[in-house]
Amino acid sequence: MKKLALLSVSDKTGLVELARTLIETFEFEIVSSGGTAQAIAAAGLPVTKVADFTGSPEILGGRVKTLHPRIHGGILGRPGLPADQADMAANHIRAFDLVVVNLYPFEATIAQPDVTLPQAIEKIDIGGPTMVRAAAKNHAYVTILFNPAQYAPYIQALTDGEGTVPQTFRADCARQAFWHTATYDQAIASYLTPDLTPDASETEADLPERWTLTGTRRQTLRYGENPHQPATWYQTGTVPTGWAAAELVQGKPLSYNNLVDLEAARRIISEFPANAPTAAVLKHTNPCGMAMADSLATAYERAFAADSISAFGGIVALNQPIDAATATAMTKTFLECIVAPGCDGEAQAILGKKGNLRVLLLADLLAGPKVAPKAIAGGVLVQTVDDAIDDPSQWTVPTERKPTTAELEELLFAWRVVKHVKSNAIVVTKDRTTLGVGAGQMNRVGAVDIALRQAGEAATGAFLASDGFFPFDDSVRTAAAKGIGAIVQPGGSKRDQDSIDAANELGLVMVMTGIRHFLH
């Protein structure tokens, strides 16, 4: 008796070629359903429809077609087991040697704008995952394929084995299949879980009781943070998003540290509106220079000049497409990576002269993860990302001196930047440009000293942002002594009044946001 294959796929890539080879070279019989059967028949190949094979018609608009004992008995039956052989013979069940199934495109559906819940629900596959899991469970007898990329290796294995597929091959396909269905179910569960953004009126975020994260290996990286650490880039979901969807226009493959820095760059540049040319230069996930200007080239030049020493070998993020002037400015020093939403032809030709420079185009700089996991011994910490929208109209001004509209806009710029600096964090700015950044210090006084020292004489009339409150008035007095005119900080210390009194004494503006932005 000929070998039997069940083919039921939503992705028709390579389907006809696979069916033809199975039939003409290896003498398989094909059982198929719906559009898959139509595609095979249209190619002039013999195929038995599932309804004819089972003797039961498709019902409920196609929702039920493969859920039948002759299908699942043929997948799960163990021809080497006498009891199974007897059951199969009594129920006129033939064993399948091959099951080829891929699932309804659920993730592609929910990725579409304005998709409705009923539309998404209809793309939840039931029969497909059931057949995949059944075949994977019975891989001692059955081969399961769920991806067109597996077709060629399977045919090669059949050829090498003269019609018999090695057990090791079937076991590997089964392992991949279980990961595939796990990822599929995880995508559905995540979609049906309420939005993870916490309600401002609640003390705890509405995080789910269960949390899982799965991914498919996209790239084996040369190493992790250091050469002795193995690392791999996994893509979450079957539809590429974020960095998996970015276009690497030029340069070497991305490294682990590149990707970590690029994500930090994406987060900070996403804070600034696309209609205001903005450039960020980062080093080790911290912004060493940040600027807004009337043109993208000017914004980059100011951001670079803010700390040109640290900018060497840095990461640049731009919130507008790269033009020729900006490209020319960026080729004057060594940079690791550039990311922007686009790049015109002239700019691309200019950047192309720096062959090792990695240039990425990411059309949507705003889209990012909703949650941020961090591994600890024996578990994982999960929090919602810090994507709170800062609204100056909700800020309070406890000092006698009040900010002008222009001063408030500068304080907002400084506040958006300090949010993305490692705590303890201090940022000094003027004219929408960073002058000094104090990052990752063990005490806030140290961070203030570093930022003011870097700003130098330019600190006179500048603005200072702190990601956390001042527990004492010493930092306020230090800032005033260097010429700082206005400070933005979250407030919330038991000794806030000491800082307010010092600001009033020294003639400073102090704004309190009521929200802190620690970044650990």
Q: In this structure, what CATH number is given to the domain that contains residue 183?
A: 3.40.50.1380
Distances (CA, A) of 443 to 252, 425, 459: 39, 9, 21
**pLDDT attached to residue 194:** 63
Look at residues 152, 169, 192 and tell me which one is the last residue of a structural domain: 192
Q: Which of 313, 301, 297, 317 is nearest to 361 (CA)?
A: 317
In the numeric block, the tokens 């506040």 are attached to 415
Same domain, 157 and 288: no
Same domain, 344 and 465: no
Distances (CA, A) of 213 to 122, 237, 372, 378: 24, 10, 11, 16
Q: What token pair was written down for 145?
A: 């394929």
CATH number at residue 486: 3.40.140.20
Same domain, 328 and 426: no
Same domain, 327 and 432: no
Tally of CA atoms within 13 A in the half-sphere of 164 that contains its CB: 6
**pLDDT attached to residue 237:** 74
Same domain, 174 and 276: no
Distances (CA, A) of 25 to 3, 28, 159: 12, 8, 9
With a CB cutoff of 8 Å and minimum separation 6, the contacts of 329 are 297, 300, 301, 304
Please report whether residue 374 resides in a domain: no
Annotated catalytic residue, options 49, 92, 137, 180: 137
What is the separation, in whole angstroms, between the first and last Cα of the chain? Answer: 65
Same domain, 321 and 457: no
Annotated catalytic residue, options 92, 284, 354, 420: 284
Same domain, 452 and 495: yes
Same domain, 141 and 282: no
Contact 428, 451 (CB under 8 A): yes
- The model's pTM: 0.78
Same domain, 318 and 414: no
**pLDDT attached to residue 476:** 96
Same domain, 43 and 188: yes
List, in sequence order, every beta strand (DSSP E) within 201-274.
216-221, 231-235, 247-250
Please report whether residue 484 resides in a domain: yes
Residues forming beta bridges with residue 413, ordered by sequence position? none
**pLDDT attached to residue 50:** 87
Same domain, 54 and 157: yes
The total number of structural domains in the chain stands at 3
* SS3 at position 248: strand
Average pLDDT per block of 10 residues along the chain, 520 residues long: 90 93 93 90 92 82 78 89 87 92 87 88 88 94 94 94 91 94 86 58 59 84 95 86 94 95 97 95 96 98 96 97 97 96 96 94 91 91 89 95 97 97 97 97 95 96 96 95 97 95 97 95
**pLDDT attached to residue 197:** 44
Say whether 332 is catalytic. no
User: Helices 69-76 & 127-137, crossing angle to 10 degrees?
Assistant: 30
**pLDDT attached to residue 195:** 56
Q: Which domain holds residue 105?
A: 3-192
Helix (H) or strand (E) holding 279: strand 278-283
**pLDDT attached to residue 206:** 66
Helix (H) or strand (E) holding 504: helix 496-506
φ and ψ at 4, to 5 degrees? -120, 130
Query: In the chain, what is the greatest distance between 2 CA atoms, to the nearest angstrom?
Result: 97
Please report whether residue 70 resides in a domain: yes
Same domain, 412 and 287: no
With a CB cutoff of 8 Å and minimum separation 6, the contacts of 438 are 421, 424, 425, 426, 427, 446, 447, 448, 449, 450, 451, 452, 454
What CA–CA distance (Å, rounded) separates 115 from 106? Answer: 11
**pLDDT attached to residue 150:** 95
Look at residues 313, 344, 361 and tell me which one is the last residue of a structural domain: 361
Say whether 228 is catalytic. no
